[in-house]
Structures are given as structure tokens and as C-alpha cells.
Structure 1
């Protein structure tokens, strides 16, 4: 079991220690569940009231904290407790699953595939013709990389993920279990003689550097050219990204949200959980779409949208207040 003194933890955070504790810290935990050997976090002043009843011996706190830690307890004051929390979680993180050998004998790897130094391929994986894998990639058991794909260095592909033919993934990416990269886009047209005719999807998916795709999410290939995810995008579980959509850098999509085909997101766009975006819509840099919203038209940069159909947040809040007042009046 890992354990650290409060001083050793502060060597990582480089904050300011207030108070002191002689107890060794064995794990991070939320305030109400922590025991006397654990460290917690107070990222907002409204949570100060929980400190008195918490058993945690220490907490990472923002600099504006107004309470004292108490006897044999300590705070580490930092500028941003949420960011510091990520450092602490990394400090205590257990090791990832181990490989006894770099390339498992049950993996099927085409003779034309190029495998970079330090790359590990687990049991039951398939790596197709003319695939190029960079250095220090980790592919966990039962993942599939089909023909002519490229994957950059330090990327991790978890079990069950499928990367379809001719798709390209950058450096330092994480593809979580059962994610699908490059499945056919949803394209059909009615035909009087044949019913629904499938439109061939002959493009691919291009994913930048530092992108994370959550479990069971789908990024569909383009009908023509590419579906593109820019550097640093973070995609939650159960997200749908339709064919020929283009995401700028550092976009966030929360769980169960979806983009129809040919949607364009600028840089730093945030899509809330279960939000849906109509096809051929453009959302400008830094815009936010609230959870459960439905976007049917373009959104300018920097706007926050709520509701179904989505409107500017302040207008949505006014509408909801009016509806609430009407309902209350109808009950009188």
C-alpha cells in the first residue's frame, strides 16, 4: 500500500501547508467517506461545512478557505484544488494491467504491419495489413485494428475497441473499451424499387493528438473525406459522432450526447450530457450546449444554449420562470 506524509504530498503540489498531521496518508477519498488515514478535497467554500464531521486527516483546499484544519489535521492550500486533485489521484493510482510479454502469441498480426519499438499487443488482438503502429502503444486483449490504419506513439487502445480500415489516430490518445472508430455513417435513401438504399461511406476518421474516446462511443467514418476530431478532444461514454463531423481542438462531449452528420464544432466547445445536435449545424468557438438540449440551428461563438429546441440560456431561464408561474397560478 502506498503511503505519504503531508510534506511528501506537498512536494508534488507545491502549495502551502496549514496545520500538521503525523498520520501517514494512504489514499484520497471524498469528505464524507474519508477515514483518518485519508486525504480529501475542498474545491468550493460551500463544502467547508463538511470538514468538521469528516474523519480525513488532511485536505487539498483552495486558497480562499476560511476554516482552520484543527488538531492533528492539515490543509494544503493551492490555487486550484480540482487540478491538484488530479495530481493526487495520479500519485495514488494503481498500476495498469501488466503484459508478461510484449506481443502475445495469440495476437494475429499481418506480415505487412509495422510495429514500433516498445509497443505491446495483448491476447486475441487483430492487426491488419499495412497497419502502422508507432512507439510505446498499448493494445489490450481483443482489440481490432483493421487495414491501413495508423496509430501514433503512446496511444492506448483498450479491450474490445475496433478501429476500422484507413482510420488514423494521433499520439497520446486513449480509446476506451468497445469504442468504435470508423464504422459506416448512417446514410440511406428511399428508392421506389429497392426500398432504403445504403449510401456507401468511403471516407475515414482522423483523430488528433491527446484525444480520449469513452467506452461504447462511436465515431463514424465520412461519406466522403474524413470525420475529424482535433487535438485534445475529450469524449465521454456512449457518445455518437456522425459522419463528416468536424471537431476543433479541446472540445468536450458528455455522455449520451450526439452529433448528426456534418456538424462542425469550433475550438473549446462543450456539449452537455444527452444533448443532440442536428445535421449540418455549426457551433462556434467556446460555445456551451446544456445537458438535454436540442440544437437545430447554428450557434455563435461564446454563447450558452439551453432547452429543446435550444435557445440562449437567459431566454430559456425566462421561459421556464414564466411557465412555472403560469402553472402555480393555475393551481390557485
Structure 2
């Protein structure tokens, strides 16, 4: 009986993917961040998924909820180049891309690279920069290359952008174009900590006093390991009925009466890739409907636009996405 069962389920034995090292690396990253960051588990997990799925992340939350410090410390767990850029209303494209400088000795112009030429880029308050600077960033995010003076420069992998923005400040901010928002794999909404978490934050701060938090964090991954794990993610199994489930969720955003604009096929691909990464983190070489449901909201909410009527009624993108997911039959 057991032999027959084995023959009927060859995938159980012949198509397994060794995810041990990947899981150990993720556990180490979470452990390192846990030395400093209390709570915010969802944000940390989504940021790790974005690394494995090779996608950028937009982090939104009120000031003081550890958006910047979490992204910065996560970057420190990876042994690659890191740049932090503070976006301001007077920031110009050359400030992030670099500029050509005349070399008197050689009588030629030499290109001096800007802070965008790095592996992990932390952009603080991304919605404060004007359109020209956003356009320069958009090319790097979309194509992973930069064009300056007619010359193309490829960004060295991994190239990931973690950007933060404040939802409550309006003065001196610019709305991000829909096309740019679409290039972010996730939009992560960061909430206030719970009462117990806030007490733990106070206790930790009181006990550690003048300790340099950044020196507590050790590097866990190299660029080569990230590339290996990203390739491993691509091998995760996705059944045909789950591909249809993903497509149905995204397709329904285009016919929903509450929405003025639905999501594009890029959103479908993002859900599939993120679900694969989530499955791998949990030690599975196949995705489940629960994986899809968990990543769908942070992938879809910033890609859809509500109708003016629904906005006036107090609807939110998160609520509409949740209703969409609940309205579609889960594959068995």
C-alpha cells in the first residue's frame, strides 16, 4: 500500500527543493533584527520576501514607527553596498545619479557616480522629491539601469529600493505617479505597536542606554547567496489551479464597480513571485491559497484606484481587496 502511494505521488520524492539554508538565513536575519526591533514582524517578513523575490518595497507609516531604522538594519544584515538618500523638494536628478566633472589633467569629462549606484538603497520620504528626480529614480527601478548623457549604466545586482513615506504630512510632498507605484512589489503599511510591544520598547531603550544599535547587527548574507536564493525561489511549484486563482483575483479588480482603475498583469506576476518566496520561507516547495491571500493586499492596494463615490463613502483600497479575495472561490 505504501509503495503504491509513493508511485502515485512522485513529486513528494523526486521534486523536492532543499530550502534548509534559505530558511536558516531568514531565521538569522530575523534574529539579528530582533536585537533592536521589537514587533513589526509583518513588515520584516514582507521586506525579506521582497529581497527574495527581487522587488522594491514602499513603506508607509506615521513618524516614529521604525520604518527607516528597520530598513537600514535589514540592509546591514546583507554584506553589500548600501546608500541612504533623504529626498527633499530641491533634490535634482544629478544629486542621486551623479554628474560629469571636467578633469583638468586629462582634459576630459569624467562621470562621478551618485548614491543611487549601490545595491540596497534606502530612500527616506520618497514623496518629497519633484517629478524630474522621480523620473530618474523610476528608470533605475524599472529597468535596473541608468541613462546619462546617452550612456547606459547597468545597476549591479542585487539592486533593491526600500522607500519610506509619511501618509499624514501634505506640505512639500508630491503624489507618486501610478506607473512608479506599480514598480513597487509591496506597499507596506506600518501601524503603531501594541501596548505590550511599546512597554518592551521602553524597557529595551532604558536598559541598553548608549549602545550603538548598528554595531549589534551582523551580516548574514552575501550578494552571491541572495542570487542563489532568488534562483531557488523560481523553482517553487505552482499548480495550474493556483495560477488561475491569482489571475482571477487580479482580473476582478478590472471589473469591480468600486474601482476606477484595476491592476495590471504585473500585479499577477508579483503575487506569484511573492507567494513563492513566502512558501520557501515556510519550508514548502509549493505555494498554497493562504500564501496568495497573505501577499495579495500589500501587492494590490497601491495599484488600484477607487471611484470618487467610494472614496467619499469612506471605502479604502485595503477593504476592496479583502472583499475581492473573499468573493473568489478558493481552489481545492
Q: Same fold (TM over 0.5)?
A: no
Name the structure where strand makes up a greater proportion of residues: 1
TM-score for both structures, normalised by structure 1: 0.19
TM-score for both structures, normalised by structure 2: 0.19
Name the structure where helix makes up a greater proportion of residues: 2
Which structure is higher in RCO with an 8 Å CA cutoff and minimum separation 6?
Answer: 2
